[in-house]
A and B are shown apart, each in its own frame.
Chain A
Amino acid sequence: MNYIIFAVTIVLFISLYFIFRKFISKKLVIVKKCLALFLALCFFIRYFAGDSLLNGVVGLNEGNPFSSSFLCFMVALQSWLSIASVVIIILQPFFKYKILKYYAKTFCLIVNIVNTILLSNIAYSFTGTYEITLCGAFLSIEVALSLLYSLYLFLTDHYFKMPKKELIEMLIALPIILILSVPPYLPQALFGNFASQNMKDFSLYHRIYLYLAMIFLIGMYFLLKRIKDREYIRMALLYISLVTLISYCYNYDFAIFIEPTRWPLHLCNTAMFIIPLCLIFRMDKLFYFTLFINVLGAFLAMLMPNYNDNFGFFTPNVVRFWINHSMAFAMPVLIILLGIYRRPRLREFKYSMVGFLIYFLLVLVINAWFENYDTSVDFFFLNSDFIVSKLGQWAENTMNNVWNIKIGSLTFTFYPLYQFLFFVVYVILGLGMWFLYVWIFTFQDFYTALAEKNRKIKLDENILCLKYNQKEVNACMNEESVNKLVVKNAYKRYGNNKRYSLTNASFEVNAGEILGFLGPNGAGKSTLIKCIVGVQPLSKGSIEINGYDIEKQPLKAKEQFGFVPDHYALYENLTGREYINYIADIYGVSQEDRQERIEKYITLLNLKDAFDDKIRTYSHGMKQKIAIISALVHNPKLWILDEPLTGLDPNSIFEVKECMKEHAKNGNIVFFSSHIIDIVEKLCDRIIIVKNGHIVDSTTLKELKKKKLSLEKYYLDIIDREEEKSEDSIVVEEELPTKEPESKFFEEKEGWLKKLKKKRKNKKLKEKDKEPLKAEENKDSKEGDKK
C-alpha cells in the first residue's frame, strides 16, 4: 500500500513538473522552497504520528520486530540516515552553498534509493503494521519527494561532477553530519544499553558524556571558526540544531498538544526550540535569554543528571538527556563565539533577566496550576526538593515555608522562600555567567589576534624564502643598502594611540659618516632609535642596516650594530668583565678579538681597576662606559648612541669622541643623538633635525660652514620655525592613507606567494626537462673521454 502512495506521489509530481515546467523554471527558487516546506510538514506529521518500534530494540536481538537482525540493522540505519537526508534537503533551497547541493544529489540520493527499497519495512518500524496508516502514508510521500528532489538535482547539476576541494570538504564533514543526527534509540538498538552502569556522581560513564559535551563545544568551535562566511556558519549551526531537535522529539506524538504536563517547559528543553528559532529568525531578546540562562541550567543539569538510576549508557532516555543538555549548553556559546549574534552588553543582560523573570513566573503558575491534575508536574524543579536535597538540610528547610491559595476547586501551592531564593541565586549566577563570557571573549580576541599575527609572520617568511630560494634568509636583501643605514617612510604609533610618534621618516647614512640626530625632548629621536635597534616594531615603512631589514631579518640586522641606550641598562649583579664577556659570547666574538678589544677599551676609558667588580658598585659614568664597551666589543658596522655622553667625565667624553671618529674612519657608521650641540658640531659630518615626529631638516656641517652659520643658531631657527606650525604637523591616524583591510592584505600576499611558488615550480620543471639532456651530454662526453 505504501508503494502505491509512493508511486502516485512520484507520478503526480513529475506530471506537475511537466505541466508547469515554464512556471517552475521561472520561479525555481520559490518552488524549491515551497517543496522543502511541504517536505518538512510531511516529515513532521509522520514523525509525530508514528511510534518507532526500534525504541525497544536492544542489540538488534531483543525486541527485534523483523525476521532478521540484518533487516533490523538496515531499517535502523535508514531511519538514522533519513533524518540527515531530510534536513539537508529542507535546508538546501534556503542556502546558496554548493556543499548542500552536493550532499543532496549524492548522499541524499543514495539514502532515498535505499529508503525506497526498504519503504514497507521502515513504515512497519514506525507503525507496527503493513497496512496503510497516517504515518505510513506521509512517510511514503516524504521518501518520494526526497528522492525526486535529489534526483532532480543529480540530473540537472552535472551528475557526479564536483571540484576536488569540495569533495574532500564534503567527505570530512559527512561523519560529523551523521553523528549529530543519531536518533536516541539507535545506539541501544545497535549495541545494547550497557545497563547497570552508574550514570551519575561523576562515574566513568557520566564523565564520558561530560567529555563528549565539552569535545563537541571545543571541536565545533575550532572546526567552524576557520570559516569566514557567517551565513555558512549559521547554516551549519541550524543543521545541528534541527537534527538534534528531531532526536530530542523522538518520543513525542500528537497527544502532547493536549497534555500540557508533557510540554517541554523545563529550562533546558526550551533551549531545543529557542536555538533553531534564533538561527532561523533574528530574535535577539530570546537569544540572550538562552545565552545567560539556558547555558547555565544545562551545565548544572549535566553535572547533576535527573534520569533514573537503572538506566544504561545507551538507554534512549539517557542519550536524549545528553543530546538535549549538551546542545543547550554548547549551542548558544558557539553562536556567540562564532559571531552569529553580537556579544552581550549590559542591555542584553537586562533583556535576558527580564526574559528569565517572565519564564520563572510562567512556570511558577503552570506548576501550581497543573499540579492539581498531575502531582509529578515540576517544571524547572520549582515544586520539588530535587535541588535542595543536594544542598543539605538548611536548603531543604527553605521549602517548609508553604503558601496554599485556593481558587474555586483548584489549590495553588507555592514555596515563597525557596522559590525567591532560587530566583535570586539564578540571577546572581547569570551575572557570573556574564563575567565568564567577558573573560572568554578577551581570551578569544587575544588568541585570534595572535593567530592572525602568526599568519602574517609566516606569510612574510615564506615569501622571503621563496624569493631568495633559501630555507632561512641570511642573504643581504638589498645590495644597495650594504654599508648603509637606510630608513624608508618610517611611521611609528604606540598601542592604540591615534597620534604617530614618528611620521614618514626617510634618510640614509653612509659608511664612514658620523650622523648627529638632533631635536627637542619628545620629538621622536628615541622612538626612531628604538625602531632601528628593534626594541619597537615600526607601524609602517622599513629600516635596513647594512642590507638587512630589521623587521624581516632581525637576527642578521641586529648583528650589524652596537647600541648605547640613553640610560645605562646593565645586569647589576655581574661584574664589568662578566657582562662584557656575556655580550661578546652572544655576538660570537673570538677569544683573541675580545681580549684585544676589551683591553683596549678598558684602558682607554680608565676602567681597568673596577672591571672585576660588580656593576652595582659602579658610578653612573662607569656604568655608561661599560655600556659603550659592550656596544663596541663585536666591532659593529653601525654604532648607535642615544645621549651617550651624559654623566661622563671630561676625559672619558674626549675618549668616547675619539672612539667615534676612529670607528667612522674604519668605514663604519656612527649614529648618535645628543642635546649637546657643540659636540655634534665638532664631531658630525651630517645632522638630522627631528620635531613632532617629522624629520624637518637634514644638512651637512660643511654646508653650514659655507653659509657661515653656527649649528646652534641654525638648529634654534629651525625649531622656532617648526614651533609655529607644530600643531598642524602632528599626524593623527585619520590623515594617513587608510590602512589596507586585513582580508586584502592576506589575499594580496597569498596571491604573491602562489605566483612565486608557481614560478619556482616552473623553474624546477624546466630544470628537470634539462636534466636528461644534461645526462645525455655527460654520457656523450664520458664516452668521448673513454674513446
Chain B
Amino acid sequence: MDQFKTLVIMQLKEKIDLSFLKSKKQLLFKVIFALLGFVAITALAYVVLYIFQRLNIFSAINHLPLSLMSVIFFIMFLFSLFTCMVGLSKTLYYAKDNQIFLTYPVNSSTLFLSKLVVYYINEVKRSFTFVVPIFFAYGMLSGLPAYYYLWLIVMITIYTLIPVLIGALLSLPVNFIMRFLNRYPVIKYILLLAILALIITMVVFALTAIPEDINLIQSWRSISQAIREFLAWFSDKFFIFYAFIIFLCGQYENLRVNFFTEYSYIVLLVMLAVIAVLVLLNFLISRPLYLKMASRQFEFDKNFRKKSKPNYSYNGFFSSCLYESKKSIRNPSVLTVTTATAIIAPIAILLLNTIYSAINTRLMGDYLTISFNILVILLFILAHNISVSYIFSRDGRANVLNKTKPKKPLQILLPYLFYNFVTSTLILIVTSSIFLSSSRLGANGILIFFILWFIMLAHLLWSAEFDFLHPKGDKYALEGSATVNSNEVKSTILAFALSLIFFGLVLFFLMDGLGGVWIKLFVLSLAFLLLRIYLFYYKTKVLYKEI
C-alpha cells in the first residue's frame, strides 16, 4: 500500500505543479482563479442553455428537457472516452517514465493501478472543468434544490471512473491496431484514403440534402418537431444515458423533482456494477498485459537500411526551415491535427455557407452570417496553431542545445514556426476562399483574408512566446508529453478569446453602421500583429539567453 501511495504521489507531483501550496497568497490566488474559471464556464453554459430555453428549441413549453441533457452528456462521454483511450494508451504504454518505474521493486499491478489512479484524478479535474459547470447551469435554470449540486459532484466523481476504465481496456486493442498499421503502412494509407473518401461522400450527400431555400420562420414548426422527435428517439435508443441523467437530475413528478426514488437506487446499483465489472476486466485483461506491452516500447528493431543517401547542403535559414518542417511532418500528432483541420475546416465552412445561402436573411442575418464565418474560420485556424505552444519543448533537451548554435535567437526560433505558418496559411486560403466565394463582400474579401491572416500570425507568435519563455522541455524529455501544459492551456484560451473578440468586433462594427468596417479591422489586426512581432523580437533578443 505504501508503495502504491508513493507511486501515486510521485506521479501526481510530476504532472501537477503544486508549488502554490507553499505560499498562502499563491494558494488564495489559485483557489480564486479556479473558482472564477468555474464560474465563467458555468455562466457561459447558463447563457447557452437559457437561450435554448427561451427559444423553445427543444421543448414546446419554456423548459429544458432531460433528453437534451442526455444528448449533451452522451457527446461529452464520447469525447471523454476518446481522450481516455488515447491518453491512457500514451500514459500506460508509451510514457518515458516507464523506463524508470519498471525498474522499481514494485509489482506491475501496483504500477498499473497507480497510473490509472493518477489518470483518474486528472480526468476528475477535467470533469469538474466541463461536465459539472454545465449541469450546475442546468440546475440553476431549472431551479433544482441545493442538495442537487452536492449530489452532482459526488456522482460525477464516481461516474468518471467509467470512461477511464473503458479507456484502459480499449487502449490495448488500439495499441495493437496502431502497431499493426505502423508495421504495414500500406494498409494505414488505404484506411486513411477510405476515411477521406467517406468524408467526401458524406459532405456531398449533406450538400445535396440542403434545400435551396430555407425559410426558418415558416419551417420552424417542422424543424422543432424534428428536433423533438430526435430527442425522443435518442432517449429511447440510448436509454442508459437518459436513465443516468434522470438519476443525476431527478425525476419530475407533479412539478416536483424527486431524486431518491427506487429508480435512482437501481441506476446507482447498475452504475456500481458496471464499474465493478470494468475493474474486474481491467484486472483480468489489461493488468497482465501491461508489463509486456510497456516494456516492449524500449526494444529496438535493428532493421537498418543499407543503402546510404547523399549529403545535401543548404543555406542556413532555409535548412532550418526545411528540417524543422520535416520534424513536424514526421510527428504523428502534429500531422493528424493538420490533416484533420485541413479536411474539416473547409468542409465545415462549405456546409455552413450552403445552409446560410439557402436561408433568406435580412441585413442583421447577413451580418451574423459574416461574423459567424469569421468566428468559425478563426476557431479552426487558431486551434490548429495551439501545438505551437509546445513547439520548442517538444524537442525535449535538444531545445536547450539550440542556444549553442551560432545563430541569433530569431534565426533559431522562427524556422520552428515555418510548418505551422505554411499549413495554416494554406488552410486559411482555402477556407476563406470558400467563405468569400459564397458571400457578396467583393474586394473587401481581400481585406478579410488579411485580417484573418494577421490574427493567425499574431496568435502563432504569441503561442510560441509562451513556450520559449516557459519551456517544458524536461517534462517532454521525461514523459514524451505533458499531461497538463500551462502553455497549451494559455494558447487554447487565447485562441478562443481572440476568435470571440474579433467575432464581437466584426458584429459590433457592422451593426454600428458607420462604414469602413473592414479597414478599421484591418488596421486593428495589423496593429495587433505588429505589436506581437515587436514583443516577440524584443523578448527573444533580451530573454532568450537567460531561459
A interface residues with partner B (beta carbon < 8 Å):
202, 204, 435, 438, 450, 453-454, 457, 533-535, 537, 554-559, 561, 563, 565, 567, 569-571, 573-574, 577-582, 584-591, 594-595, 598, 608-614, 617-619
* Nearest Cβ on chain A to B123's Cβ, whole angstroms: 29
B319 touches A533 (CB 8 A): no
Give chain B residues whose Cβ lies under 8 Å from the Cβ of A537.
545-546
A574 touches B323 (CB 8 A): yes
* Nearest Cβ on chain A to B544's Cβ, whole angstroms: 10
B330 touches A612 (CB 8 A): no
Partner of A435, one of B29, B304, B314, B327: B29
B313 touches A558 (CB 8 A): no
The answer to whether A585 and B313 touch (CB under 8 A), given A565-B401, A569-B397, A619-B300, is yes
Those of B280-319 within 8 Å (CB) of chain A: 300-301, 304-309, 311-316, 319
The docked-state distance in angstroms from the alpha carbon of A583 to that of B508 is 51
Give chain B residues whose Cβ lies under 8 Å from the Cβ of A611.
308
A457 touches B313 (CB 8 A): no
B319 touches A586 (CB 8 A): yes
The docked-state distance in angstroms from the alpha carbon of A580 to that of B330 is 17
B238 on the interface (CB 8 Å rule)? no
Give chain B residues whose Cβ lies under 8 Å from the Cβ of A608.
308
B400 touches A569 (CB 8 A): yes
The answer to whether A454 and B305 touch (CB under 8 A), given A573-B327, A574-B326, A586-B406, is no
**Which 9 interchain pairs have the tightest Cβ spacing?**
A585-B319, A558-B406, A569-B397, A573-B330, A569-B398, A559-B406, A582-B323, A610-B304, A533-B404
Seed contacts A558-B404, A565-B401; 10 additional CB < 8 Å A-B pairs: A453-B542, A457-B541, A558-B406, A569-B395, A569-B400, A569-B477, A573-B330, A574-B323, A580-B311, A585-B316
* Nearest Cβ on chain B to A444's Cβ, whole angstroms: 15
The docked-state distance in angstroms from the alpha carbon of A360 to that of B400 is 57
A571 touches B327 (CB 8 A): yes
The docked-state distance in angstroms from the alpha carbon of A533 to that of B402 is 11
The docked-state distance in angstroms from the alpha carbon of A559 to that of B405 is 8
B175 on the interface (CB 8 Å rule)? no
B313 touches A581 (CB 8 A): yes
The docked-state distance in angstroms from the alpha carbon of A579 to that of B327 is 10
The docked-state distance in angstroms from the alpha carbon of A563 to that of B29 is 43
**25 sampled A-B residue pairs with Cβ under 8 A:** A204-B512, A438-B29, A450-B538, A454-B541, A457-B541, A534-B404, A535-B403, A555-B406, A555-B408, A556-B406, A558-B404, A563-B401, A569-B396, A569-B400, A571-B327, A574-B326, A581-B313, A581-B319, A586-B316, A586-B406, A608-B308, A609-B305, A612-B308, A612-B309, A614-B330
A585 touches B315 (CB 8 A): yes
The answer to whether A578 and B323 touch (CB under 8 A), given A537-B545, A537-B546, A594-B313, is yes
* Nearest Cβ on chain B to A535's Cβ, whole angstroms: 5
Give chain A residues whose Cβ lies under 8 Å from the Cβ of B29.
435, 438
B439 on the interface (CB 8 Å rule)? no
B309 touches A577 (CB 8 A): yes
Q: For B400, B401, B477, which residue has the most chain A Cβ atoms within 10 angstroms?
A: B401
The docked-state distance in angstroms from the alpha carbon of A613 to that of B308 is 10
Give chain A residues whose Cβ lies under 8 Å from the Cβ of B320.
582, 585-586
* Nearest Cβ on chain A to B373's Cβ, whole angstroms: 24
* Nearest Cβ on chain B to A482's Cβ, whole angstroms: 18
Give chain B residues whose Cβ lies under 8 Å from the Cβ of A584.
311, 313
The docked-state distance in angstroms from the alpha carbon of A580 to that of B310 is 12
A573 touches B331 (CB 8 A): yes
Taking residues whose C-beta sits less than 8 angstroms from the other chain, chain B's interface range is: 35 or more
The docked-state distance in angstroms from the alpha carbon of A585 to that of B541 is 23
* Nearest Cβ on chain B to A613's Cβ, whole angstroms: 5
Give chain A residues whose Cβ lies under 8 Å from the Cβ of B408.
555
Give chain B residues whose Cβ lies under 8 Å from the Cβ of A453.
542-543
Q: For B32, B305, B406, which residue has the most chain A Cβ atoms within 10 angstroms?
A: B406
Give chain B residues whose Cβ lies under 8 Å from the Cβ of A204.
512, 514
B13 on the interface (CB 8 Å rule)? no
* Nearest Cβ on chain B to A580's Cβ, whole angstroms: 8
B406 touches A598 (CB 8 A): no
B313 touches A589 (CB 8 A): yes
B126 on the interface (CB 8 Å rule)? no
Give chain A residues whose Cβ lies under 8 Å from the Cβ of B543.
450, 453
Give chain B residues whose Cβ lies under 8 Å from the Cβ of A570.
398
The docked-state distance in angstroms from the alpha carbon of A613 to that of B303 is 9
* Nearest Cβ on chain B to A202's Cβ, whole angstroms: 8
B316 touches A609 (CB 8 A): no
Those of B233-256 within 8 Å (CB) of chain A: none
Chain B 524-542 near chain A by CB (<8 Å), digits 1 or 0: 0000000000000011011
The docked-state distance in angstroms from the alpha carbon of A390 to that of B545 is 52
The docked-state distance in angstroms from the alpha carbon of A573 to that of B398 is 12
Q: For A569, A580, A584, which residue has the most chain B Cβ atoms within 10 angstroms?
A: A569
Give chain B residues whose Cβ lies under 8 Å from the Cβ of A619.
300
Give chain B residues whose Cβ lies under 8 Å from the Cβ of A534.
403-404, 545
The docked-state distance in angstroms from the alpha carbon of A127 to that of B545 is 69
Q: For B301, B311, B545, which residue has the most chain A Cβ atoms within 10 angstroms?
A: B311
A613 touches B305 (CB 8 A): yes
Those of B7-52 within 8 Å (CB) of chain A: 29, 32
A535 touches B330 (CB 8 A): no
B407 on the interface (CB 8 Å rule)? yes
Give chain A residues whose Cβ lies under 8 Å from the Cβ of B539.
450
* Nearest Cβ on chain B to A195's Cβ, whole angstroms: 19
Closest to A557 in B: B406
* Nearest Cβ on chain B to A722's Cβ, whole angstroms: 29
B311 touches A594 (CB 8 A): yes
The answer to whether A578 and B326 touch (CB under 8 A), given A534-B545, A591-B313, is yes
Partner of B313, one of A535, A577, A590, A614: A590
The docked-state distance in angstroms from the alpha carbon of A96 to that of B25 is 41
* Nearest Cβ on chain B to A689's Cβ, whole angstroms: 25
Partner of B404, one of A457, A556, A563, A580: A563
B397 touches A565 (CB 8 A): yes
* Nearest Cβ on chain A to B155's Cβ, whole angstroms: 30
Closest to A561 in B: B404
* Nearest Cβ on chain B to A671's Cβ, whole angstroms: 14
Those of B59-108 within 8 Å (CB) of chain A: none
Give chain A residues whose Cβ lies under 8 Å from the Cβ of B406.
554-559, 586-587
Closest to A455 in B: B542
* Nearest Cβ on chain A to B430's Cβ, whole angstroms: 27
A454 touches B538 (CB 8 A): yes
Closest to A602 in B: B308
B313 touches A609 (CB 8 A): no
Give chain B residues whose Cβ lies under 8 Å from the Cβ of A556.
406
Give chain B residues whose Cβ lies under 8 Å from the Cβ of A585.
313-316, 319-320
Closest to A599 in B: B311
The docked-state distance in angstroms from the alpha carbon of A516 to that of B305 is 38
* Nearest Cβ on chain A to B203's Cβ, whole angstroms: 32
A571 touches B398 (CB 8 A): yes
The docked-state distance in angstroms from the alpha carbon of A351 to that of B461 is 42
B319 touches A457 (CB 8 A): no
The docked-state distance in angstroms from the alpha carbon of A614 to that of B327 is 11
Give chain A residues whose Cβ lies under 8 Å from the Cβ of B330.
573-574, 614
* Nearest Cβ on chain A to B299's Cβ, whole angstroms: 11
The answer to whether A586 and B313 touch (CB under 8 A), given A454-B538, A563-B401, A573-B326, is no
The docked-state distance in angstroms from the alpha carbon of A534 to that of B313 is 26
Give chain A residues whose Cβ lies under 8 Å from the Cβ of B314.
585
The docked-state distance in angstroms from the alpha carbon of A619 to that of B316 is 29
Those of B311-347 within 8 Å (CB) of chain A: 311-316, 319-320, 323, 326-327, 330-331
Chain B 448-484 near chain A by CB (<8 Å), digits 1 or 0: 0000000000000000000000000000010000000
Closest to A597 in B: B311
Closest to B412 in A: A586
Closest to A454 in B: B542
A617 touches B301 (CB 8 A): yes
The docked-state distance in angstroms from the alpha carbon of A256 to that of B498 is 50
The docked-state distance in angstroms from the alpha carbon of A571 to that of B395 is 6
The docked-state distance in angstroms from the alpha carbon of A289 to that of B50 is 38
Partner of B407, one of A555, A557, A589: A555
